[in-house]
Amino acid sequence: MSRQDPIRILELFSDLEEQLRTRLRSLDSWGLSGQREGQYVHDVIADELLLAPLVDAGYRVLTEESGIVGTGEITVVVDPVDGSTNASHGLPWFATSICAVDDQGPLVSLVSNLALGDRYRAIRGEGFEVDRIDVASRLLPTDPARGPSSVTKLQDALVSFSGLPPEHGGWRQFRTYGACALDMCAVATGTFDAFVDVDSAHGVWDYLGAWLICSEAGVGLADGLGRDLVVLSHEARRAPVAAATPELLAEVLAMCGPWLDLA
C-alpha cells in the first residue's frame, strides 16, 4: 500500500474504524481507566487498537493518549474516542477522529460516530461525504450530506458550544453536546450553523479530522484567537470556530474573541 495514496489511506482508516466498533461492542466497562485523570477504559482500548497498525504502516502518529509515536513523512492525528464522557454515560454522541497530514496540510480524514454509525470522510480537494447506518429506522428532517446551512446572521443561528458561554451572545439557540469532532461535522452538514470553543482547550486531535471535512464542505474555519489550527503538537491548545458562511464566521469571532482573551 502506498503510504501517500489518499484512497488507500482512507481504506486503512475505515478498516481500523470497523475493527474498533467491533471491539467496543463487546466492552463490559465504560468507566475510568485509573491510569490518569479523566481517562476512560474505552480511551485506552481504542488507542491501543489504532496506534500500532498506523505505526506499522509507516506513519508518524499523534494521539491524545500516547503523544507522538513512530516516524514518517505523513503524520496521522488520532482522537481514539472524542466525547469519552458522553460514551461513559451512554449518550450517543462520541466518535473516532483520524486525519492524515502531509507537508501541505490535512490530506485525508475520517470522523465516525461510534454510537450511531454516521461516518464523515474527506480527501483534500475532492469534497466530503457522509453515510449513515440504518437510515430507514431514523426520523430525520434533513439530508445528512446536504452541506452547510446558508445562515449569515448570528441572531438566526443554532450554535454548538464547547464550554459554557459567559453571556448571551445574540444567537437564536445554542447546544453543548460535548464532542468537538461531531459538533464541527454537524456544521458541515447543516445541523448546526456554527461551533465555538469558548475555553481554548482543544488539542489538535479533537478537531483536525473535522477541520478537513468542514473545509471541503466550504465551512468557514478559524481559531478564536487567530492562531494556526493545523499544529502538530501534543501540548498546543486551540479554540476552533466553525461557521456555515463567511458572514456568520465574522459575527461569531467578534462575539467570542473577548471571552477568549479573558480565559
Q: Which of 256, 257, 263 is nearest to 170 (CA)?
A: 256
Domains of the chain: 6-137 (3.30.540.10), 154-262 (3.40.190.80)
The rounded distance, in Å, linking the Cα atoms of 27 and 46 is 11
Q: Which of 219, 100, 231 is nearest to 151 (CA)?
A: 219
What residues does 221 pair with on adjacent strands? 242
Confidence of residue 261 (pLDDT cuts 50, 70, 90): confident
Query: Does the predicted TM-score (pTM) go above 0.85?
Result: yes
Q: Which of 59, 218, 216, 210 is nearest to 123 (CA)?
A: 216
- 119-133, 200-214, 218-232, 240-254: least confident range: 119-133
The pLDDT of residue 38: 82
Higher-scoring residue by pLDDT: 130, 34:
130
The pLDDT of residue 135: 55
The pLDDT of residue 136: 55
The pLDDT of residue 142: 59
Give per-residue pLDDT as tens, 201-232: 999 999 999 999 999 999 999 999 999 999 99
